[in-house]
Structure 1
Amino acid sequence: MDDNQEQKDLSRDEETLLDELGIVGAARRKFLGQSMAAALGTFAFHLLAKEKAFATLAAAPDAVFAQNAGVENAVMVLLKINGSTQRLEVDSRTALLDVLRERLGLTGTKKGCDQGQCGACTAIVDGRRVLSCLTLAASCEGKEVTTIEGLADGDNLHPMQVAFIKHDGFQCGYCTPGQICSAVALLQEAKNGDASHVTNNLRTSAQNLELSEEEIRERMSGNICRCGAYPGIVAAVREVHSGRDIAQTWHFATNEEIAVALNEGKANEIV
């Protein structure tokens, strides 16, 4: 606030009083700021006191209260989620993702782009992977839904979860639930003989397709990993699909490797 603005905001009596007190320039601006802060604090205190007082008052006998809005466009949906039957009243426009996260507390399924582009919300419905952000909950009536929370058997992880850990298939972990659900359903697609864009022979519908790295990458292309953990993801899917151990592409750094990395870092700083 400049001096001209102060002159406009203050009354003549206020200006005279401040002049007599010798409060001018920066000191005047500081004084006005502190005064305003004190006034706002006092106003807030009185407002809260009034709200508290009103809250203790009993309602008048003839008072009319608004009814709860409830669920708009309500429909009843029966779902079997991770083995548990759930009967829910939902808005017919509600996405499966929001039902899982907001109504059932299954927050393992992540909301990423909310436009069906990233795959973080992937869940499994009747054995097939779906983008839950684009899937209406009402369309899943009577179907079986599996999320990341339903893959493990108690403390026993699903083989795909074990493989992801072994091959370092995640870093920040945000996309990992969708990646794992997608990978689990992908293996069922291969058993069914479902073709992909890179399947060589579309004239045959043989079951138990042997998936190459190219096939796995193509079939997992709808799941985006911003950390770039794709090599570990492909290795994890390959291991579970083949049933054979796949050599890890990473290891914990030794003391010697750490020392070399530190020395290289110091050398780069000098350069």
Structure 2
Amino acid sequence: MTQSPLKVTRHGAVLEVVLDRPKANAIDLATSRLMGEVFTEFRDDDSLRVAIITGAGERFFCPGWDLKAAAGGDAVDGDYGVGGFGGLQELRGLNKPVIAAVNGIACGGGLELALSADLILAADHATFALPEIKSGTVADAASIKLPKRIPYHVAMDLLLTGRWFDAEEAAHWGLVSRIVPAADLMTEAHKLAAQLADGPPLVFAAIKEIVREAEDMKFQDAMNRITKSQFATVEKLYRSEDQLEGAKAFAEKRDPVWKGR
């Protein structure tokens, strides 16, 4: 029996997804499709509130596209499945927090996978690169995302040279949320996930939809969409039990109990 390339574990309201494809956790078409299925189920399961994506072992988070599979017939423009490459980049309506725990090398599509998460924790030995330039191809998702996340000239330096950079530089430019000792990476990722899982899911959903939809909008246009009830998650929040619960908990000086409805 072929070993699954993913190890998927539920920890209460937290879903842990471990990319486990020796030797380097590279992603082929079949793995990408499976990841899309996993993250679609996560999106649609109301009992799950936060996901963690990481790699097996201590050396590789993910090097991106599996070039050996490509040489064996996997087309670079093949069927990556729902959500696009790695199941996250193009997954519509994903309004729950996703944490990337980068446990080692994250390059090419692996870095793009991490950039698809909302929060990135990096082990202190993690390294990053966009080496596509050296193999005559383009880091398409990174070419879209990176100049919006960090200064333009830094993004272009990384895209045009394909050079490697370490966790400290990634943190300096704001590409990672926090650097932690490698031995503590998953512990810290689960602490953060537990904190988020205890938070208000309807508020998180509204935040993610607003941030996603307003990325290319003018401020006033985005505000007008909110006031005209054109963000479904915001409208659901404003008409929810949780909205009332938050006000009651504040007035009663107690912790709120979020139900997600």
Q: TM-score, normalised by structure 1?
A: 0.22
Higher strand share: 2
Larger Rg: 1
